């Protein structure tokens, strides 16, 4: 499926969003009617906005913390945050 996700020229291969990453793993898929054990589901295109928002929040939290540590408790300047958040959200969504 990695080949399918990275290929721009193979239209006969399934999209990475349409494949089940656990399909080839024995014992990982629950029988019908049983709850999944730890695996929710593969991502779909409609998940991208939420993924982008979570990614942006995680990146900004990490950047804020690193900046605070590196600069003796100083908060991340608002201008830096304003430049980063929209770009990350746009890329993810």
pLDDT band at 80 (very low <50, low <70, confident <90, very high): confident
Q: Are residues 37 and 50 in the same domain?
A: no
What is the C-alpha separation between 29 and 36, in angstroms, rounded? 7
Q: Kindly tell me if the per-residue pLDDT of 3 is higher than 50.
A: no
| CA–CA separation, 5 and 11 (whole Å) | 11
Split into its structural domains, the chain has a count of 2
By residue range, what is the domain housing residue 28? 1-42
**78 with 89, same domain?**
yes
Are both 82 and 68 inside the same structural domain?
Answer: yes
| Residues 61, 92 share a domain | yes
Same domain for 93 and 54? yes
**Average pLDDT over all residues of the chain:** 70
25, two tokens: 């793993």
What's the pLDDT tens digit per position in 21-48? 666 666 655 555 555 556 677 888 888 8
């Amino acid at each position: 499926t990695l080949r399918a996700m990275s290929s721009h020229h193979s239209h006969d291969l399934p999209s990475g969003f349409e494949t089940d990453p656990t399909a080839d793993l024995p014992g990982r898929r629950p029988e019908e009617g049983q709850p999944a054990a730890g695996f929710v589901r593969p991502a779909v295109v409609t998940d991208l906005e939420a993924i982008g928002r979570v990614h942006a929040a995680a990146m900004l939290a990490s950047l804020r913390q690193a900046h605070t540590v590196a600069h003796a408790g100083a908060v991340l300047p608002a201008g830096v945050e304003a430049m980063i958040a929209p770009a990350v959200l746009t890329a993810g969504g």
